[in-house]
Amino acid sequence: MNSADLGRRVGVPSTALFTDQYELTMVQAALKAGTAGRHSVFEAFTRRLPEGRRYGVVAGTGRVLDAVENFHFDDEIIGFLRQQRIVDEPTLRWLADYRFSGDIWGYPEGEVYFPGSPILRVEGSFAECVLLETVILSILNHDSAIAAAASRMSAAAGGRRLIEMGARRTHELSAVASARAAYVGGFDATSDLAAGFRYGIPTVGTSAHAFTLLHDTERDAFRAQVDSLGRGTTLLVDTYDVTEAVRAAVEIAGTGLGAVRIDSGDLLLVAHRVRQQLDELGATGTKIVVTSDLDEYAIASLAAAPVDAYGVGTQLVTGSGHPTCSMVYKLVARAGSTEPDAPLVPVAKKSLGAKSSKGGRKWAARRTDEHGVAEAEVIGTGAVPEELAGRELLVELVRGGEVVAREPLEAARERHVVARGGLPMSAMQLSRGEPVLGTEHV
């Protein structure tokens, strides 16, 4: 789930300033009012899925746990807040001692979710929980959007290999997070080495058009690449003439050539022609990789093409048109005083528009039919009904400020396969439609 799983901690600076100023000013006012210590429950959820999406994918949970662990105010940060007069001295003293000491429960990474699903529940004092709002939402909104796009592409690919290639299309740090989320959503590899180093994701890459253009002839470029990387390499064949390039590729590398990559043109037509040519040349085992601004719809359109792998960049790292999940982080319950045994009171914003929410600390479970297929997302605030016992979706992530649920990234990836496979078949449709499961509140 994070770099600790590989035994290599990546130096992460404090995440305390990955926040909005009003989180700190609320703490200052609450400290002065004597309400900062009231036991509180916050929940992260989305009121709706992006238009046309049938399900969402939880991703970024491991990064959230890292962020919570690294959320502390060191001397340099305190000095900045003092210099800018963001908050007063009593608040600065409180912040200097800050470490999250509460509890966090949530949907495990790779699980699917629907409107209203309590994806993350953060519990502790008001002050320590409210500070985490922005960093939690920034991670979950970004990573879950990428994972949802990746999941749709994975479903469209039908088991064919998927390579994440979007690093040059987004912020350099977002690229690493995107590769991680894409892996959770079903991608098999990434071109981004930082993602490989931090999270153990398989990395791939051979050459670009620039390498071919560097040499006097395409054959010179192919020969240089094969001499260096071996016959199992992937040769890019669309710099000049595809037919001539494929012929040269097989002549130079032999019938054991690993793969050819096509990055332009009518991919459906070109893939068929290249497959036929490769087979005629005896390179029946040479695979075909296609790239070129692919998304889930383009991948689906190539289902009948003799394609072995897809490389996806821009559309993946931008969530295929939906770069955020519109998740929010709301106070749903709080104690009436700072007394340890003060009972929790459900709270919720009243709104005439679409921003309403339901109060109370929630549980969630997924009801299935007699075939084990999910048929409803059930959410409640009281006791879990007996028929749903053992099907609760939230798991303990942090207890008393200590992370208790670290896991390898592979676990989240495998969980998603199971979760998606338990949805109705209509969840895999790319046509616009409503969420495949309704949400029931009990």
Residue 7 confidence (pLDDT):
42
Is the pLDDT score of 233 beyond 50? yes
Q: Report which residue type is found at 99.
A: R
Which position has the token pair 């180093």?
A: 197
- Count helices and strands (H / E) in the chain: 15, 18
**CB proximity list for 66: less than 8 A, separation 6 or greater:** 2, 3, 12
Buried b (16+ CB within 10 A) or exposed e, 93-127: ebbeeeebebbbbbbbbbbbbbbbbbbbbbbbbbb
Is the pLDDT score of 5 beyond 90? no
- 414-441: average pLDDT: 94
Is the pLDDT score of 148 beyond 50? yes
CA 79 vs CA 20, 93, 222, 342: distances in Å: 17, 11, 57, 36
- 258-277: average pLDDT: 97
Q: Are 234 and 240 in contact (CB under 8 A)?
A: no
Could you tell me how far CA 196 lies from the centroid of its own chain? 15
Tens of pLDDT, residue by residue over 332-372, are 999 999 998 999 999 998 876 667 778 999 999 999 999 99
Which among 227, 248, 185 is positioned nearest to 57, based on CA atoms?
185
Angle between helices 89-96 and 21-33 (to 10 degrees): 110
Phi, psi at residue 406, to the nearest 5°? Answer: -70, 145
Is the pLDDT score of 73 beyond 60? yes
Question: Beta partners for 163?
Answer: 189, 311
- 319-325: average pLDDT: 95
The pLDDT mean for the chain works out to 95
Which position has the token pair 């099907």?
A: 391
CA 440 vs CA 82, 327, 353, 380: distances in Å: 48, 19, 20, 8
Q: Are 119 and 93 in contact (CB under 8 A)?
A: no
Could you tell me how far CA 179 lies from the centroid of its own chain? 8
User: Residue 128 is encoded by which pair of tokens?
Assistant: 């320590």
Q: Which element (helix H / strand E) includes 245?
A: helix 242-253
Burial (CB < 10 A; 0-12, 13-18, 19+), residue 260, is buried
Could you tell me how far CA 87 lies from the centroid of its own chain? 34
Angle between helices 218-229 and 242-253 (to 10 degrees): 40
pLDDT confidence tier of residue 12, bands split at 50, 70 and 90: low
CA 88 vs CA 31, 79, 92, 335: distances in Å: 11, 12, 6, 26
Which position has the token pair 């409503």?
A: 434
Is the pLDDT score of 11 beyond 60? no
Is the pLDDT score of 216 beyond 60? yes
Tens of pLDDT, residue by residue over 122-143, are 999 999 999 999 999 999 999 9
User: Residue 247 is encoded by which pair of tokens?
Assistant: 């012929």
139: left (phi over 0), alpha (psi -120 to 50) or beta: alpha
Distance CA 373, CA 144 (A): 23
User: Residue 132 is encoded by which pair of tokens?
Assistant: 């985490």
Phi, psi at residue 247, to the nearest 5°? Answer: -60, -45
Is the pLDDT score of 3 beyond 70? no
Q: Report which residue type is found at 206.
A: T
Residue 442 confidence (pLDDT):
87
- 266-290: average pLDDT: 98
Q: Which element (helix H / strand E) includes 171?
A: none
Residue 432 confidence (pLDDT):
85
Is the pLDDT score of 399 beyond 80? yes
